[in-house]
Structure formats: C-alpha cells, structure tokens
Amino acid sequence: MSALISITGVAKRYATDRGEVVAVQDVDLEVRQGSFVALLGPSGCGKSTLLRMVAGLDAPSEGRILLDGQDVVAPTAMVGFMFQHSLLFPWRSVIENVLLPVDIARGKRAEHLDRAHALLASVGLEEFAHHRPNELSGGMQQRAALCRALIVDPPVLLLDEPFGALDSITREELNDLLLQICHESGKTTLLVTHDVEEAVYLADEVVVMSSRPGRISDVVGVELGYPRDTETRNLPEFRALATRLRKGLGIAHRQGRAAR
C-alpha cells in the first residue's frame, strides 16, 4: 500500500505583531491509503495548522505535501473536511445543507438526493431531513455535517476535532458511526483530537505531537484490529496504549514548558 498523503519536512510560520510564530516544524508523515490516522496533541501544538495545509486551505512555509502524488496547492475534490463546529447554514434545511457540496460542484441535486437521504438515514436523521439546523441538538448537527462531508464521496476525510464540542455519550456514539462509515467505504482518514481514548479507539495509527514548535514526538501503531466496540475499550492492550500515550503527552507538555 502506497502513501496517499505524504508530508515531508513541513514547517509553518506565521508572521504576527509580536514577531514570527512557528506553528509546526520538521513534520514528516505518511498516511497509507485506507488507513485511519489520529493526530493527538495538546492545545496549540499545530494540529489544525497541519490539517489545514493537507486540505490546501493554508500553504506550508517549508516542505512538501503530496496528495495521491500531487502537490497540494489548493483545496481538491479528493478531500472532505469537517470542523469542530457543524457550520450548517441556518437558512438551509438539513438535507439542503447535506447537498451544499453538490450545489457548489454544480452537480444535479436530483442525482444525489437518494444518496443524501441514505446518508441521513445511516446517521439516524432521516426524519429531520426537512428540519432547520437550529431544531437539531449539537450531536445531530455534527451528524448532518458528517453527511455533508460524505455526499460527494471524497476518498480522503480530514476531521478537525469533529466531536470535540460534544458530551462523551454522544461522542462515543458518533465514534462508532464514523468507524463504520470509514471502513465500509475504505476512506483514508486523518483525525485531529486531543482525546486519548478517542484516538486509540478510532485509529490504526496515532501520531503524537508536542508544542512550541509543534512537531511529531511519537508515532504509535494501534494493533487492535476491527471491528471495535465498547468491549474494545476494556481490553488490556487498549488501556496500555492509552496510558502510554498519556505519558507521552505529559512529557510533551513538560518539554513545551521548558522550551519557552
């Protein structure tokens, strides 16, 4: 299996009023086709920055990012992006929100309507297709946003803490949903999170980042196999991995403080 996403020697610096901020530095990362990689790290370590560069929303200051062998210079049709906030448009119904990517790609709504309904059904929102987003709970809104990211069936999913604002019950529910969708459709997924359990539960590889400057401090394979369910969380391997990652993060924290 070849790398679908390939990041080499990437750095990102921002010019600010108080001089230059190094958001990420020396990042090398390969994401294999069909794999699920979690980016785990403390707040401000550059996870979003990295993800946005892969999505083509920001340009790296240094290094290269390849997506399926092509330099990323702008957002591509290969990527579905999901943010922490659902960003559903309040003037569109739920199903119209799901169809937004189709409208923007100048596709025919009619041709995607069945898929949109099927996606909404798969996340348990079929009854809410014609509701307005503000009639939905936070978790339901994120489900709709997930459908929107999937409607044009992009091979790559980039998820920036999509469940970060949700309660833990809803989050676990959506974790199962995401896992199922990613595996059924063979997506390549890069997920940003600062929840250790979420990272271990979802990913087959966890990339740990440390802050100031943000860089990769550890890459941990998760050999738990799929499918996973609630029982998985109780496995000794799961607990051991989570503990190891927690320690890794703790050390990353301290290094971060010392470097300042």
Task: Give the tokens for residue 128.
Answer: 């809410």
Q: Tell me: does residue 16 bind ligand ATP (CB under 6 A).
A: yes
9 lines the binding site for other proteins (CB under 8 A): no
Sheet with 188-193, side-by-side order of all strands? 79-82, 156-160, 188-193, 36-40, 205-210, 215-221
Q: How far apart are CA 134 and CA 170, in angstroms?
A: 18
Residue with Cβ nearer other proteins (88 or 125): 88
Q: How far is the CB of 161 from Mg ion (least distance, A)?
A: 6
- Interface region with ligand ATP, contact rule CB under 6 A, candidates 41-49, 144-152, 217-225, 231-239: 41-49
The yes or no reply on residue 105 touching other proteins (CB under 8 A) is yes
Assess 10 for contact with ligand ATP (CB under 6 A).
no
Residue 59 carries which side chain, given as an amino acid letter?
A: A
Does 48 participate in binding Mg ion (rule CB under 5 A)? yes
Binding segment for other proteins among 10-18, 39-47, 96-104, 188-196 (CB under 8 A)? 96-104
CB under 8 Å to 191, separation ≥6 — which residues?
36, 37, 38, 39, 157, 159, 162, 199, 202, 203
Q: At its nearest, how many Å lie between ligand ATP and the CB of residue 98?
A: 26
Position among 46, 133, 214, 248 found at the interface with other proteins (CB under 8 A):
133
Judged by beta carbon, residue 119 or residue 208, the one nearer Mg ion is 208
Question: Binding of ligand ATP at residue 23 (CB under 6 A)?
Answer: yes
Task: Give the interface segment with other proteins, choosing from 75-83, 187-195, 218-226, 240-248 (CB under 8 A).
Answer: 75-83
Give the DSSP letter string of 157-182: EEEESTTTTS-HHHHHHHHHHHHHHH
Q: b/e for 6-45, b at 16 or more Cβ within 10 A?
A: bbeebbbeeeeeeeeeebbbebebbbeebbbbbbbbbeeb
**Among residues 5, 6, 10, 46, the one that binds ligand ATP under rule CB under 6 A:** 46
Residue 169, binding choice from Mg ion, other proteins, ligand ATP, none, Cβ under 5 to 8 Å by partner class: none
Separation in Å, CA 71 to CA 7, 212, 228: 10, 27, 34
Q: Which residues bind other proteins (CB under 8 A)?
A: 52, 55-57, 74-77, 79, 81, 83, 85-91, 100-101, 103-105, 132-135, 138, 141, 165
Q: Which residues bind ligand ATP (CB under 6 A)?
A: 14, 16, 21, 23, 41, 43-49, 194, 214
